[in-house]
Amino acid sequence: MKINGVHIDNTFAEAFPMKATRIIITALNLEWAWNSANAMTGFATSVIACGCEAGIEKELKPSQTPDGRPGYSVLLFTMSEKEMIKQIQNRVGQCVLTSPTSACFSGIHEGKKLALGKNLRYFGDGYQISKKIDGVRYWRVPVMDGEFLVEENTHMTKAVGGGNFLVLAENQEVALKACEKAIKAMKKVPDVIMPFPGGVVRSGSKVGSKYPSLPASTNDAFCPTLKGLVKSELDSSIGSVMEIVIDGLSQEAVNEATRVGVLAACSLGSKKGVKRISAGNYGGNLGPYHFHLRKILK
């Protein structure tokens, strides 16, 4: 299968079940909402060392937020409920509560309830005020710039983490350009985030390492500089590989993001140096979700 001359490998991405929540952050203006959302989703590229994977899902107009101010919705993914509780509390407590003019709301209203402002309210030292509006409890916590308004709970839903595809190109510049095009298109797809810096990861990993203490190590089969040394997946035309990892609230959302992303990456065409699209998997034995590239792109 070829798109615009770019070869699509007959392979699949292997993804895993995760837990997810959506949080809406608003502020006096978009700039301050972004400052807060960006801080909250910082250092959240991979559950391996960050505890969670998080990213800004989309910008929200005042008409789309509960308090009529501009904002952002962010998605947060973890492997367990316990970790989700910890991550929400730490990240909202340190990055949203602290951010001038911010307010914080649940962006999902089904699934298991988890504390959002329920524990953070104690920052108010007894001066916090509860308001129940349309059956939903909010907390008004007095802070130095006025009041921090936060919904008591958010909700946790089942999700899919680790969807991915690889862009194989002649050199770094072309690979990055193709990935940038893909991310731009994928950002328009709802219910997904690409958690790595700028949405792109250059250090894809394989399971295990020659060093016993490391659970994962560099994906040598896709490292262009090791072509002559290991059993490589790359031919002589490939000089650089980059990966886009996708976390989504549903299989359909990851499917759609993959489709949109691959098409955008391929739009650059093989003549400009994009050679192949592949995907990362572990033989299909570890993750229950398989995203077959050719099926998705049919």
Partner 1 sequence: MSKPLTFTLKEKIVHRLDLSVLTPDALEGKPLAKVKKIKIAVGKKRIDVDKLFVIEGDDTQNIIFKKSSDRFDNIGQGMSLGSIEVRGSAGDRLGHDMTGGEIRVKGDAGDWAGTGMKGGRIEIRKNAGRFLGGALPGQQHGQRGGIIHVFGHTADRTGDRMRRGMIVIEGNTGDYTGSRMIAGTIMICGQAGKNTGFGMKRGTIILTDQPQSIPATFNNCGTFELAFLKLIFNSLASSNRRLKELREYPSWVTRYAGDLGLDGKGELLVLK
| Token representation of residue 254 | 């990851």
DSSP state of 62: G
Looking up tokens 């936060």 gives 150
Mask: binding to partner 1, 273-292, rule CB under 8 A, as x and -? --------------------
Least gap, CB of 39 to partner 1 (angstroms): 20
Q: Does 131 bind partner 1 (CB under 8 A)?
A: yes
Mask: binding to partner 1, 12-41, rule CB under 8 A, as x and -? --------------x---------------
Q: Does 184 bind partner 1 (CB under 8 A)?
A: no
Cβ partners under 8 Å of residue 76, min gap 6:
20, 21, 22, 23, 41, 44, 52, 53, 54, 84, 87, 88, 91
Q: Does 1 bind partner 1 (CB under 8 A)?
A: no
Least gap, CB of 137 to partner 1 (angstroms): 10
Q: Does 98 bind partner 1 (CB under 8 A)?
A: no
Least gap, CB of 67 to partner 1 (angstroms): 5
Q: Does 132 bind partner 1 (CB under 8 A)?
A: yes
What is the identity of the amino acid at 211? Answer: Y
Burial of 2 (0-12, 13-18, 19+ CB in 10 A): exposed
Q: What is the C-alpha separation between 53 and 48, in angstroms, rounded? A: 9
Q: Does 49 bind partner 1 (CB under 8 A)?
A: no
Please state, in angstroms and as integers, the Cα–Cα distance from residue 54 to each residue in 186, 264, 277, following that order: 15, 23, 25
Q: How many positions of this chain bind partner 1 (CB under 8 A)? A: 18
| Token representation of residue 93 | 């407590």
Q: Does 129 bind partner 1 (CB under 8 A)?
A: yes
| Closest by Cα among 248, 181, 183 to 13 | 248
What is the identity of the amino acid at 290? Answer: H
Q: Which of 63, 213 has the CB closer to partner 1? A: 63
Looking up tokens 């059993």 gives 231
Q: Does 140 bind partner 1 (CB under 8 A)?
A: yes
CA angle 208, 213, 214 (to 5 degrees): 40
Least gap, CB of 255 to partner 1 (angstroms): 35
Q: Does 109 bind partner 1 (CB under 8 A)?
A: no
Q: Does 66 bind partner 1 (CB under 8 A)?
A: yes
Least gap, CB of 286 to partner 1 (angstroms): 44
Q: Does 64 bind partner 1 (CB under 8 A)?
A: no
Binding region for partner 1 (CB under 8 A): 26, 66-69, 103, 127, 129-134, 138, 140, 146-147, 149
